[in-house]
Structure 1
Amino acid sequence: MFMQDHRRQTVKEKISYIEQTQGIALAHAKIEIVECMNNGNPQSECESQARQEVNIVFSTVQKSLYVNQNRQMQHWQMMDQELSQTDNLTFEDVYVYDRNSAVSPQTKFELRTVTLYDGEQMEVLTGSMAFEDGGGLEQSVVPYYYTGDLAPPVENSDSDRDNFLNIVAPDGSTAIPLDGGSFKTALTTLDDKHSSANSAVGSMADSIYSNYEPGEVSTQDVAGPLEVMVTSAANNDPLTYRLLSAQSAGYAVNDSGKTVKVKADFNGDGTIDSEAKSGVIYSDAGAFPNSTVKTGTTYVHTDDGDSSTVKVSGSVTFVSNPSDASPEDYPLDGEFTVVQVYDDEGNEASSMTLTGNDFATTDTSNLNSQISEIINKMEALEDKYEANQSSGGGGSGISQDDIKSFLNNLGIGVAGGLMIAAVIIVMILFAYIKILTI
């Protein structure tokens, strides 16, 4: 019963995530159509680009399902090798399963190549276990794994059984693999949502092209507040996206385009690296004295009695910006030195100020000005860090009309206050999750 409950819960979680994916994909597609139309391209070309956006979003989820499947299969293969290579180890010592057969089960593993929605190919490990039942007929015991159909890689086997094995690890813990039918449920649902999203792209493009001329509507006019957070990763370069996410989550960032060069224990070996890294800093609001980061200053989190160091109070994160790799986050939770602060033109500067956002509000009349202020800060931040200029990105995507409509929909009084709190919390959590998973 516990195993079946686990299976149902896992499938439900994946299906719920897939339902959200359709909305996220269409948010990307809508912005792509508007930007493409404003560049003077025909509707057919813009639809094609929008569908590519849909494919990219859905491929990410599709790939995660196959990665999950591969991990489970690799665990099963490891336990099967333990059984075959260890003396005096019985089938029941490894598998919590009554085989009801005098014949030793035969396992078979096979790598299969699958093509994702965006054209990327990946290898998926499949496997099955076969045994003879009392009548001498070959039966298949799952987990077998889904790659487009339910046929396991064992000939003449009964593949429609809904069983799965609880595999025991050497330390006594268990892993409960989903069977092929469970993965089929998730992946076929994903196929259905992917098809629906692609169909919606056509009607979306028809609506935009029939109602607007190129340049008449912008992404700020068509994107709501949550769509802005959803699509921000694609509309901005990785460094700026991290700062936007940090800013919208309430962290203090520099909104004047200033960068820093920092020395710290970046590799975690307990010693300060000899070479400094260039990038940006964000922190808890008020972590630095007077919210100011100064050139040539060594910062510590615990007062060490050294007058040459300055204590910070709160978390500090450094985001490196190497020219030949993606940005990488480093928590500055030990001693670190700000070797140099640079202004937005790359000139040396003596200091920079980090400013945060105050999300606290108990009065609905204050919400409009607070959100407007946050939006203006995000607009300024994107402009300063020159996010994605080549592809026409930039702008928070929220117009003042969007704000008014958004607030009107919330209502007033106690119910309105609760809705306001919920929306703010959702936006903060979403931004924070994106920082962790980028």
Structure 2
Amino acid sequence: MLQTNRALRRAGRVVPAAVLTAGLLAGGAVTAAPAFAGGAPLTLTVQPPSSIGAAGGPVEFTETIANPGGTGWAVVLQLTAETAAGAGENFISIEARNELNGLWDAVPVTLHHEQDKDVFSAEVIGKIIVPAGEKKDVHLRLGAPMGKPHDGASNGGVGPAVTLRSEVKGWWQDTPVEPAVRDTRTIKVDAISNELAGVPAKAVAGGAPVEFDAVLRNPSPSAYTNLGNVLFADKHAKVEVRRADGTWSTLTGITVPDGNPGQAGFYLDGRNSSAAPASTTTDRVRLSYPAGTPGTAGEVRTCVFVNESQDTPFHGTTFCAKGATIAITEAATPRPTTPAPAGTSATPAQPSTAATSAAAVPAAVTSASPTATATATADAPAPAGRLAVTGADGGRTGLLAGIAALLIGAGIAAFVVVRRRRADGTA
């Protein structure tokens, strides 16, 4: 018991209260590692995360230390995370769950460079009590934040993979765990990304808007916060996004002094948005260009900014996708037309002529005063041998034809009277 109390006094300088409580509960069953080599029947099982997201949140996993022997152990778990050269401070994070309150405590890490790789070493994670014949789960989280909140790194990176090395060590340096208990795992580093889909090849300046999709993908199990999903387009363009209720929201473009002077950035989901693990989000975008927009202004592209500076837009850990170009043309100008002179119609009126003549009248006509009227309407077809007329000209033509018929009839009647007189011998 004296040995246990001495160990706890030594641990009190660096071990959290949760670990001390576990040691007290174990009581006399907890002893130091045996002084002789080869007496460590411990095993280590690691269930690593499938991947982590670059600049994303940490991902939980578990490491299990088992003790099938008859003596309790007090051990520590040491972790290192190795990645390709190019990382910086705060690029890797390791956290351990506090057994008392269930919260996550940050584990201090140190960075050192080794030729073509960067190595992040975790400080010793407390004292872990593994009673005889039992096992102990250590709940951890590994992340690649690549900076701090609202202070994302703009240079360097982590990946495409992280090598996680775990080792169980004895609590006292002079009594190492032998044989060594180690595990090595390779963890993929995924990245959030966005892309444009269905971008039309052409748009008309001053014409109808064009539509396409902006797709944001997070393939990793990391949650992303402090996120800016941005569409870059001509600063004079009108950019709208369709919301969940079907309405269109007009976005405000933001320009920066050191950016492209002809372009502006439009936050599709607002500043400090988020992306859930293993999620895909699609924004429907509507874009229109004012009249006079030059044809070279049709470039559009998307970028995702993580942990943007609160004072400087578009500055943080940056992921940009390949853009697209929309050919902008001017609206077609209609050809001018010359109006027809007033009082004329498309079809010139034909001159009216009498439909009958004296030569065409049969000699046997005996009516002394024949009457003929010409009446034509737009709906009724004209009689054979006569033109159809409509409107005011049709009324006048009918009147003239009637007078002509009367005159011809009077002439015929006079001719018949003369012939009768001659036959009677009175002429």
Q: Decide: shared fold, TM above 0.5.
A: no
More strand by share: 2
TM-score with structure 2 length normalisation?
A: 0.22
| TM-score between the two structures when normalised by the length of structure 1 | 0.21
Compare CA radii of gyration and give the structure with the larger one: 2
